[in-house]
Amino acid sequence: MRCCVCLFTQSLECSPSKMAAGESNSRSSCLNLSNSGPLGNAPPSNSAHSSPASNGGVVVAAGGMNRGAGNANPRTGPENGGGGAESAVRSTPSAHNPPRQSVCPSGATSGAASNMTATPSSSSTSSSSSSASSDASAAVASLPSSPASVLVYREPVYNWQATKSTVKERFLYSDEVQIGPETVMTTLYSAKKYAVPALEAHCVEFLKKNLRADNAFMLLTQARLFDEPQLASLCLENIDKNTADALAAEGFTDVDLDTLVAVLERDTLGLREVRLFGAAVRWAEAEAQRQQLQPTPENKRRVLGKALSLIRFPLMTIEEFAAGPAQSGILTDREVVSLFLHFTVNPKPHVEFIDRPRCCLRGKECSITRFSQVESRWGYSGTSDRIRFSVNRRIFVVGFGLYGSIHGPTDYQVNIQIIHTDSNTVLGQNDTGFSCDGTASTFRVMFKEPVEILPSVNYIACATLKGPDSHYGTKGMRKVTHEAPATGTKTCFTFCYAAGNNNGTSVEDGQIPEVIFYT
């Protein structure tokens, strides 16, 4: 009898040998183990599987040997009327021996790993160890007849490319990457799809270096799509610093709603709210067209969805609101009325829109107090309280601290301004109000946008209050210095009397005790 299936890298033919008791005249599968003699005289093993120590990790399982043990998956044997035994080979690929599948008929040879060594399997039973040698010979000798033996190569499931640090190690052509604006997004998509982290990093780095205001929205959309949080963060920072240019770019109206919402949620956008509303309307017109809707006010409101509620209408001036949003038809009549009331009356009614100022500044809020003592009482007759000041370094003023009523909890209406002294230009203002609790504390009144203050330039802080008599400060200081705890940076304010129509505030006494700012 001639054995037929041999697992070697060269074509070989097994020499005939006598089979043990129960030998069949049919052909049978042969097991070639390293260091073995003729078939049937293999060294004893405690398992129905044979695993090599190296070179491919081959496992051999015969249908009649310890069926069901280990990872063998035999077909139905002769006892169930099947077609015969099966030899299953599972091969672990190495970098130089990629996996393959093949079926070897009887009498044929198949290329496979050599130098196979028998090793125990974890699935072997303890009872097999006592008579390992005789059982192995008997099992081989009793193999059922089979017209063919099947060799199956199985690849373990794991991302082997992720363990390689360079592109060369993944059998790709080279580590030289040439990326351009036209190909970077498709290359990034491919790198993500085929798990090539090095190529992915090249693409992201290219996008970072080429990030500009006119492509920030487009890249933000792609960064969110490809789950690149670092790139998305850089895009958002660019939009914060260049909000007007980014919104004017052609790609802005192509972003999805979620990206629009992610931008409008930010407190750090550097643009007036009325212009953000105009940009949102432009986006809504484009989105309505994409959805094949007529660009009616109702459809614009519909496609804007949550984004509309992120427009901070209370931060607009009453003139800006009246000329734009109030006439757009996008807001409901109830919303328009409540916002007009918010602009004109005190106490201000609740509105459904955010009234928190946006601040395009980083770092920690700071404040200085120019009085060392508080007294009462200070009256108001429609004249503004004013104080002139200058600073030694560039800062951004975001509001004032003001004194409140001496008669208990009260609401005040107030207009605050910062005026450039030489040109008499109003650089920032807000018509608003505040509620006080009757104590001698100060109460925050904020500008709608930060006001830039340049070093060694004279400005006037102005507050016009309507309300009952209030507390006031005394023992004022001409120079007040704030020192940042973390860096030790000093910001020095110098105060002077502001001549003209003044309610009596001076360096020594009066209102406007605090200036709130960012450095």
pTM: 0.47
Look at residue 369 and tell me whether its pLDDT is greater than 50. Answer: yes
Question: In whole angstroms, how far apart are CA 9 and each of 96, 149, 256, 451?
Answer: 14, 17, 58, 80
Look at residue 323 and tell me whether its pLDDT is greater than 70. Answer: yes
pLDDT at 201: 84
Residue 129 is given by DSSP the state G
pLDDT at 188: 81
Sequence-ordered alpha helix ranges (H) in 291-405: 297-304, 306-309, 318-323, 325-328, 333-344
Mean pLDDT (whole number) for 12-34: 37
How wide is the angle at C-alpha 181 spanned by C-alphas 178 and 183, nearest 5°?
60
Q: Where are the domains of the chain?
A: 164-344, 366-518
pLDDT at 116: 37
Confidence category of residue 439, pLDDT binned at 50, 70, 90: very high
Distance from chain centroid for Cα 471: 50
* Percentage of residues in the chain having pLDDT higher than 90: 41
pLDDT at 448: 80
**Residues near 45 by beta carbon (within 8 Å), at least 6 away in sequence:** 118, 119, 120, 132, 136
Look at residue 367 and tell me whether its pLDDT is greater than 90. Answer: yes
**CATH code that applies to domain 366-518:** 2.60.120.820
pLDDT at 419: 96
Confidence category of residue 172, pLDDT binned at 50, 70, 90: low
Question: In whole angstroms, how far apart are CA 375 and each of 407, 442, 464, 479, 511?
Answer: 13, 13, 19, 21, 11
pLDDT at 170: 65
pLDDT at 156: 58
β strands within 32-165, DSSP E: 49-50, 59-62, 87-90, 102-105, 109-110, 148-151
pLDDT digits (tens, 9 = 90+) for 116-171: 333 334 343 334 444 444 444 444 444 444 444 556 556 556 666 677 777 666 67
Residue 259 is given by DSSP the state H
* Burial group, residue 165, by CB count within 10 angstroms (0-12, 13-18, 19+): exposed
Confidence category of residue 486, pLDDT binned at 50, 70, 90: confident
Mean pLDDT (whole number) for 272-290: 94
Distance CA 259, CA 11 (A): 63
Q: Contact at 8 Å (CB) between 128 and 135?
A: yes
Q: Which residues of 489-509 are buried (b: 16+ CB within 10 A; e: fewer)?
A: eebebbbeebeeebbebebeb
Distance CA 243, CA 90 (A): 59
- List the single range of 31-40, 192-201, 326-335, 349-358 with lowest mean pLDDT: 31-40
Confidence category of residue 457, pLDDT binned at 50, 70, 90: very high
